């Protein structure tokens, strides 16, 4: 489809859910042989196995809250979104939430709370979380707002409800930007895609708060920009081992160690790769490759899935995968509604 087509919206939201559901199998594993990944993925095609449904985790649970809030309020409403996070957590606390964020979600359900951003600020001795929990649910912001400045602003505020450290919420901004650009067809020119992201993040990381957090955490002056430069270096090379990707970019639970990694997975899998089956299309390659990195596999595959899905569209996603994953059909329905909201706002309505 063309820029911002319905197929791209559906691809983005559905592939994010798939990444989370199929990635759950390997979350936290240090080493994941590609063979195990391919076995896991081919078991989804095998109907005789009747392997039931793969459940989604906190990544999708929170993304669904973001989607429902953006649709119901026809825009960003922090009170409404915070309430939905709290309600979802208390209804299904067993979805694998990060150990820190649970405290925020409990505080957000208090009716006495006046500032919905305060519980997030209290995390980790007042510096806030740098986990990837803001980034894992950032894709819907790119699907709700056509304007780049809105995507950046609302992805940041949406993440700040749980992640007040700039290394947390700027990861969400980067993820939303990547989905936004992919939706426009920007992955047709991968070099320009990564340059655009670097230019945008130069501005995003250019303020006092970001500089301060980076200094305290002993990171580069502009940590996400630095990582994006590493992504660019890796994508210029003809051969890259999984070990190098992990050591250069990371595969962990911090936004800094997972959002650039997810972006790299998408870029690396734009072409066929030796380690992946020839019959796989780009979307399948991206998901498989993300899982083979190990570490925070559900989240990296979820984020890479959203970016890749926005590029390849819904047609690239195997039906058998959709059928196996809890929430995939719902995501497809929501994507259509987001597509309408997006195109209403781009007409200035
Ligand atoms: O970021 P968050 O929502 O976790 C998301 C991850 C994804 O992989 C999900 O799939 C799920 O598995 O969890 O939750 P947080 O609790 O805010 O952050 C996650 C973890 O990162 C924390 O439990 C800490 O171990 C670590 N962390 C920090 N550690 C020290 N100092 C995050 N911020 C800090 C920090 O400032
Ligand atoms: Mg999870
Ligand atoms: Mg995870």
Residue 332: helix, strand or coil by DSSP?
Answer: helix
> How far is the first Cα of the chain from the last one, in angstroms, to the nearest whole number?
24
Say how many Å lie between the CA of residue 295 and the centre of ligand 1.
13
Q: Which residues of 131-141 are buried (b: 16+ CB within 10 A; e: fewer)?
A: bbbbbbbbbbb
Q: What's the pLDDT band for 236 if we cut at 50, 70, 90?
A: confident
Residue 349: per-residue pLDDT? 46
Tens of pLDDT, residues 26-85: 999 998 999 999 999 999 988 666 557 999 999 999 999 999 999 999 999 999 999 999
Tell me how far apart the alpha carbons of residues 69 and 291 are, in angstroms, rounded to a whole number.
30
Residue 196 lies in a domain: yes
- Check if the beta carbon of residue 150 is closer than 8 Å to that of residue 142: no
Residue 138 lies in a domain: yes
Residue 345: per-residue pLDDT? 78
The answer, yes or no, to whether any atom of ligand 1 lies below 6 A from the CB of 96, is yes
Tell me how far apart the alpha carbons of residues 87 and 61 are, in angstroms, rounded to a whole number.
11
Domain range for 51 is 6-346
Tell me how far apart the alpha carbons of residues 12 and 17 are, in angstroms, rounded to a whole number.
9
Tens of pLDDT, residues 164-221: 999 999 999 999 999 999 999 999 999 999 999 999 999 999 999 999 999 999 999 9
Q: Mean pLDDT, the chain, as a whole number?
A: 96
Q: Which of 210, 253, 211, 205 has its CA nearest to residue 229?
A: 205
Residue 240: per-residue pLDDT? 96
CATH of residue 171: 1.10.4080.10
Please give the average per-residue pLDDT across 99-116, as a whole number: 96
Nearest CA residue ID for atom 14, ligand 1: 98
What is Dmax (Cα atoms) for the chain?
Answer: 57
Please give the average per-residue pLDDT across 86-92, as a whole number: 98
Query: Best mutation site among 85, 86, 98 for ligand 1, i.e. most ligand atoms within 8 A of its Cβ?
Result: 98
- Our measurement of the distance from residue 286's CA atom to the centroid of its chain's CA atoms, rounded to an integer in Å, reads 13
Tens of pLDDT, residues 129-152: 999 999 999 999 999 999 999 999
Give DSSP secondary structure letters for 78-138.
Answer: HHHHHHHHHHHHHH-TTS---TTHHHHHHHHT-TT-S-TTHHHHTHHHHT---BTTTGGG-
Say how many Å lie between the CA of residue 296 and the centre of ligand 1.
11
The answer, yes or no, to whether any atom of ligand 1 lies below 6 A from the CB of 99, is yes
Residue 44 lies in a domain: yes
Say how many Å lie between the CA of residue 272 and the centre of ligand 1.
33
Residue 1 lies in a domain: no
Residue 51: per-residue pLDDT? 57
Residue 76: per-residue pLDDT? 98
The answer, yes or no, to whether any atom of ligand 1 lies below 6 A from the CB of 58, is yes
Residues near ligand 2 ion, CB 5 Å cutoff: 57-59, 96, 298
- How many domains is the chain partitioned into structurally? 1
Q: Which of 103, 89, 105, 182 has its CA nearest to residue 139?
A: 182
Residue 176 lies in a domain: yes
Residue 99 lies in a domain: yes
The answer, yes or no, to whether any atom of ligand 1 lies below 6 A from the CB of 59, is yes
Please give the average per-residue pLDDT across 101-115, as a whole number: 96
Residue 311 lies in a domain: yes
The answer, yes or no, to whether any atom of ligand 1 lies below 6 A from the CB of 166, is no
Tell me how far apart the alpha carbons of residues 128 and 49 are, in angstroms, rounded to a whole number.
44
Say how many Å lie between the CA of residue 81 and the centre of ligand 1.
20
Residue 295 lies in a domain: yes
């Amino acid at each position: 489809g063309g820029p911002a087509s319905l197929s791209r919206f559906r691809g983005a939201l559905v592939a994010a859910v798939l990444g989370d559901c199929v990635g759950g199998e390997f979350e936290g594993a240090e080493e994941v042989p590609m063979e195990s990944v391919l076995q896991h993925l081919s078991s989804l095609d095998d109907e005789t196995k009747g392997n039931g449904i793969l459940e989604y985790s906190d990544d999708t649970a929170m993304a669904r809250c973001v989607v429902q809030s953006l649709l119901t309020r026809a825009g960003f409403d922090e009170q409404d979104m915070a309430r939905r996070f709290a309600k979802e957590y208390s209804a299904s606390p067993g979805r694998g939430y990060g150990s820190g964020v649970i405290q925020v979600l409990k505080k957000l359900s208090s009716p006495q709370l006046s500032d919905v951003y305060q519980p997030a600020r209290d995390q980790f001795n007042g510096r806030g979380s740098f986990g990837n929990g803001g980034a894992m649910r950032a894709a819907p912001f790119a699907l709700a707002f056509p304007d780049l400045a809105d995507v950046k602003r609302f992805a940041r505020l949406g993440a700040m409800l749980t992640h007040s450290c700039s290394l947390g919420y700027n990861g969400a901004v980067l993820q939303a930007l990547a989905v936004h650009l992919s939706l426009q067809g920007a992955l047709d020119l991968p070099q320009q895609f990564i340059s655009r992201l670097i230019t945008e993040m130069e501005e995003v990381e250019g303020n006092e708060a970001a500089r301060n957090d980076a200094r305290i955490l002993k990171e580069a002056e502009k940590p996400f920009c630095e990582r994006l430069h590493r992504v660019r270096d890796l994508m210029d090379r003809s051969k890259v081992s999984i070990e190098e990707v992990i050591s250069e970019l990371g595969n962990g639970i911090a936004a800094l160690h997972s959002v650039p990694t997810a972006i790299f997975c998408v870029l690396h899998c734009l072409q066929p790769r030796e380690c992946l089956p020839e019959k796989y299309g780009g979307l399948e390659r991206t998901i498989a490759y993300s899982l083979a990195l190990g570490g925070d596999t559900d989240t990296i595959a979820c984020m890479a899935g959203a970016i890749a899905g926005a590029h390849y569209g819904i047609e690239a996603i195997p039906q058998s995968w959709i059928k196996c994953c809890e929430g995939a059909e719902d995501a497809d329905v929501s994507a259509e509604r987001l597509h309408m909201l997006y195109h209403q706002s781009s007409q200035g309505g």
